[in-house]
Structure 1
Amino acid sequence: MDVKTGLFYLFSAVLLFAGFRVITARNPVYAALYLVLAFFQASAIWLLLRAEFLAISLVLVYVGAVMVLFLFVVMMLDINVDSLREGFWRHFPLAAGVGALIALEMAAVLMGGFRLAAPKNPLATGPNTSNTLELGKLLYTDYLYPLEIAAVILLVAMFAAIALTLRARKDSKYVNPADQVRVKARDRVRIVQMPATRAAQPVAEEQAAAAETKA
């Protein structure tokens, strides 16, 4: 066994362990950190396959952006873990059935083998070939429609997430933009005519006027 094979088994073992801990960790912060570890191990496996662009993209996009956002949200929300475990055994049979179905489907695919058709534009190979350039050509030629479908699905998911989480708060200061556009200058500023100077009254007169007012 050479060094490359040994590194592959090492990264794969750590990846499986991290993935297992993601779903078994009691603390959501620990689960997110284990997911970061899983992403790093998957990136290392991509490097072994000489897919540098995918490895760097995985680290930059998922570890550098998505997981930082997940950790920020989880730590700011202060999730009550005990309340999340209350319905575990009630939903366990359904979850176990769905998991078994997914496992059987994956086993059927893996046992049958991957019979993919050869691409119309085969990738160029060579020491001076850029895999990023070849990957871009392949994505925007042979796999253009699946890429567009995935983009539309992600866009719909983003709109759905915004619609589900957007709530109107009573204490928020909200101004209708239509009212701001229709407003006029006389509605914003009111000019009051006041004398520039006013004679000062003696103290005795002020006290007498106050007494009369109280009477």
Structure 2
Amino acid sequence: METIFYLFAFNVIISGIMVISALNPIYSVFWLIIAFINASVLFILLEVDFIALIFLIVYVGAIAILFLFVIMMLNLIDYEKGRDMSNYLPAGFVIGVIFFITCRIIILSSQLSLFSLNRFDYVENFSNIIGLGRVLYTDYYYLFLIASLILLVAMIGAIILTHETKKEKKDQDMFIQISRELWDS
């Protein structure tokens, strides 16, 4: 069982690397979908079925498909072949270092008992769905509001980017049409 867990964890890491290294944005979204599916399998192996199914429904079923449709509508397939991606390495390195430092701070502070990561002690009396719902909708409701605002802005942005502002009027000029008919006959 542990081998299967490490296999899917390795797949998540490889898929995440492929998301940022794929030159074609559509391939990048496909790798993102594979990463989400592998992460969902990890949640199933950890016996958190509800989160795994929500992960599949929300991320794979909604957000990744939204990305795919936006990329297809914007016609971002026209990319340069063989372009140099090394100018993105410093920004990626800085973000990676910040992420690593944040993870280390959380691990060290939990070991020093600055805050408790064991907030789910009272969930044992309830099913997974009831306990998760109580925690998410009471303690983390503001995160749902922020996520809904981000999705609203993304939806409005996709609509604005794909909306054509040029209106080509196709009016008929009756004088030209009648004169054409008279001239042809």
TM-score relative to the length of structure 1? 0.62
Question: Could you tell me which residue of structure 2 aligns to residue 59 of structure 1?
Answer: 56
Instruction: Give 1:79's match in structure 2, choosing from 67, 77, 80.
Output: 77
Of 11, 14, 19, the residue aligned with 2:11 is 14
1:14-33 alignment, distance < 5 Å: 14-33=11-30
The amino acid of 2:89's aligned partner reads A
Q: How many residues align?
A: 163
Aligned residue for 1:136? 133
**Match for residue 96 of structure 1?**
89
Same amino acid, percent of matched pairs: 36
Larger Rg: 1
User: Higher relative contact order at CA 8 Å, sep ≥6: structure 1 or structure 2?
Assistant: 2
CA deviations over 1:65-119 (Å, ceiling 9, x no partner): 3334444554563721227x65x45xx44x3232222112122122231534468
The residue that corresponds to 1:39 in the other structure is 36
Identify if the C-alpha distance between structure 1 residues 64 and 147 changes in structure 2 by more than 3 Å, giving closer, same or farther.
closer
Of residues 160, 164, 175, the one that matches 1:167 is 164
* CA-CA distance at 1:13 after TM superposition: 0.8
Alpha-carbon offset, residue 172 of structure 1: 7.5
Unaligned runs of 5+ in 2: 171-185
Distance in 2, matches of 1:42 and 1:172, equals 50
C-alpha separation in 2, matches of 1:111 and 1:122 = 24
More deviation, 136-145/110-119: 110-119
Deviates more, 1:74-83 or 1:32-41: 74-83
For structure 1, the residue ranges without an aligned partner over 5 or more in a row are 174-215
Map of 2:123 onto structure 1: 124
Q: Aligned in 2, Cα 1:147/1:66: closer, same or farther, shift over 3 Å?
A: closer
Change (3 A) 1:148 1:56: same
Return closer, same or farther for 1:59/1:79 CA change in 2, 3 Å cut-off: same
Distance 2:159 2:70 in 1: 15
Q: Match for 1:54: what amino acid? A: I
- Partner residue in 1 for 2:144: 147
Q: What is the root-mean-square deviation in Å for CA atoms of aligned residues? A: 3.0
* Partner Cα distance (1:117, 1:35) in 2: 32
Normalised to the residue count of structure 2, the TM-score between the two structures is: 0.70
Picking from 96, 101, 106, the partner of 1:108 is: 101
Which amino acid counterpart does residue 5 of structure 2 have in structure 1? F
Query: Do the aligned partners of residues 100 and 172 (structure 1) sit closer, same or farther apart at CA in structure 2, a change above 3 Å counting?
Result: farther
